[in-house]
Structure 1
C-alpha cells in the first residue's frame, strides 16, 4: 500500500520538530557557556519549498497555479534578543517561547494525524 501524503508529511514535520526541540534544549543547556551562540534549525516551510511539489489543475474551474505566484509571504529570520558580556547569545525567555511553539506544533500534528486516521477508519467500517 502506498504511503498517504498526510502521514508522510506529518512524519517529516515530526522529525523536524524533534530536531528543533533538540537544538532548543542544547541552547538552554549552554545558557551559561561563555561565547556560545544560540542555534536554530532551518524553518520547515523552507524545507518544504525545496520539494517543489507541483500543483495539479484537475478541473477547468480551478485557479491557475501561475495566479498564485504573487501571494507568497516571506518570513524574516529570527534574531537573538541580546548578547551578554561573555559573548553568549542564548536568551532563556526566547528559548522557552520557541519550546512552546514546538509543543503547540507537535500537538497540532498529532491532532491532524488522529483526525485523518479516524476518517480512514470510518470509511473502512462503512
Structure 2
C-alpha cells in the first residue's frame, strides 16, 4: 500500500512544502532588511479547505490508448509569491522590511510546519497500530 496516495498525507505534504517555501522567502526578507528600496514578499496563504476538497475528490486521468490526446490541463505549479502591498512602515531609503513582523511570520510558519509534521506522525502511529492488531 502506497501511503503517499492517502489524502491526509498529500494535504500534510502540501502544507509542509508551502511552509518551507514561505520560510525561504521570509529569510530573504530578513537578509535584505538593510537593502535600500527592498520590498518585503510573502506567499499567498494556502487555502486548506479547498486543498482538502480537491485532494479527496481528485480523479486522475489516464491515457489508455497511444492514439488519445494528452490532458490539456496544466499543472498549477509552485505557490504564488506576493509583495506586501501595505507595509506598516518603511525607512527613509524605501526599505519596507520590518524585522519584528518577519520574525513573527517565521515563527508562525515554523508552527504550521510542526503541526503538519505532527499530523503525519500521529497518522503513521495509527496505521502501525492498526496493522499490528490485524495479526
TM-score by length of 1: 0.74
Aligned to 1:83: 90
Matched, 1:100 2:102: no
Report the CA distance shift for 1:115/1:41 in structure 2 as closer, same or farther (over 3 A). same
How far does residue 106 in structure 1 lie from its aligned partner after superposition?
Answer: 1.1
Aligned to 1:13: 15
Q: Secondary structure at the match of 1:40?
A: strand
Aligned to 1:49: 50
Counterparts of 1:78 and 1:121, CA distance in 2: 47
TM-score by length of 2: 0.69
Q: Secondary structure at the match of 2:21?
A: helix
Deviations 1:25-50 (A, max 9, x none): 000000000000000011111x7637
Report the CA distance shift for 1:123/1:52 in structure 2 as closer, same or farther (over 3 A). closer
Deviations 1:40-90 (A, max 9, x none): 011111x7637863988xxxxxxxxxxxxxxxxxxxx88422111110100
**Cα RMSD after superposing both structures:** 2.5
Gapped regions of structure 1 (runs ≥ 5): 57-76
Aligned to 2:36: 34
Q: Secondary structure at the match of 1:53?
A: helix
Gapped regions of structure 2 (runs ≥ 5): 58-83
Q: Secondary structure at the match of 2:43?
A: coil
